[in-house]
Amino acid sequence: MPSDTSPAGSPDPPARVLIVDDHPAVREGLGFRIARCPDLVVCGEAADVAEALDQAERARPDVSVIDIALGTGSGIDLIRRLRARDPSSRTLVWSMYPESLYAERALRAGAMGYITKQEATGRIIEAIRRVHRGEIFLSDAAAGRLIRRVVGRGVEVPASPTLEESLSDRELEVLRQIGAGHTTAETARCLHLSVHTVDTYRQRIKAKLALRNASELARVATQWVLEHG
């Protein structure tokens, strides 16, 4: 496992890291690991999108470590908003969701890396350092999938799209909310959308997945959440 410490005597100031996660214990654990590294320092913490945007404005982090599933809002949406404010911002996603679900979406949104929380114990510091250097951080498996997707375009007959490939980022987020048992009003509050907009997304999801009614939508969404966390 790579050492958390960096070579002594580095003339550069520590890289400033913003931690965005809605679980205080998780933020504390990552902060403890970062505190052991002379080349890194925690410059702020946030639990949701609004707080993260405020902290990013105040603290000017070099790297923001962002969870996908926040208490209110979406980590993917946060990455887009940070990039819109500052195209040079560097973000690393760490999530309980496997890379196959969200890594490509995170990169499209502007993230420079993706690491699962299961893998993060041994490699989170390495991932932060590499993103700070301007490098992309992915597991070998995720990098291989992206390369195969690019190389295979126009060569092979495409397979039927998966559920995740069929839905947009926002539609997938609404599906996750439905699967977690949230009402339309609760989903609207969490994602900072109007009820009408959430209803529109629900209709689009049903159309894309060929679902006949709200009951089928709830069943598919619940099954998806059970399978993917």
- Residues 79-94: b if buried by 16+ CB within 10 A, e if exposed: bbbbbeeeeebbbbbb
Please list the residue range(s) of the chain that carry CATH number 1.10.10.10.
Answer: 163-228
* pLDDT score of 155 more than 60: no
Whether CATH 3.40.50.2300 fits 15-147: yes
Whether CATH 1.10.10.10 fits 163-228: yes
* pLDDT score of 157 more than 50: no
Please list the residue range(s) of the chain that carry CATH number 3.40.50.2300.
Answer: 15-147
Q: Cα-Cα-Cα-Cα dihedral of 7, 9, 12, 16, to 10°? A: 60
* pLDDT score of 140 more than 90: no
Over residues 195-219, mean pLDDT: 89
- C-alpha distances in angstroms, 17 versus 62, 66, 163? 6, 10, 34
Which range scores top for mean pLDDT: 5-19, 57-71, 207-221?
57-71
Q: How many residues does the chain have?
A: 229
| pLDDT in the model for residue 66 | 96
Contact residues for 38 (Cβ-Cβ < 8 A; gap 6+): 5, 6, 8, 10, 14
pTM for this prediction: 0.72
Over residues 161-189, mean pLDDT: 85
Residue 115 has φ and ψ, to the nearest 5°, of -145, 135
* pLDDT score of 151 more than 80: no
| pLDDT in the model for residue 149 | 63
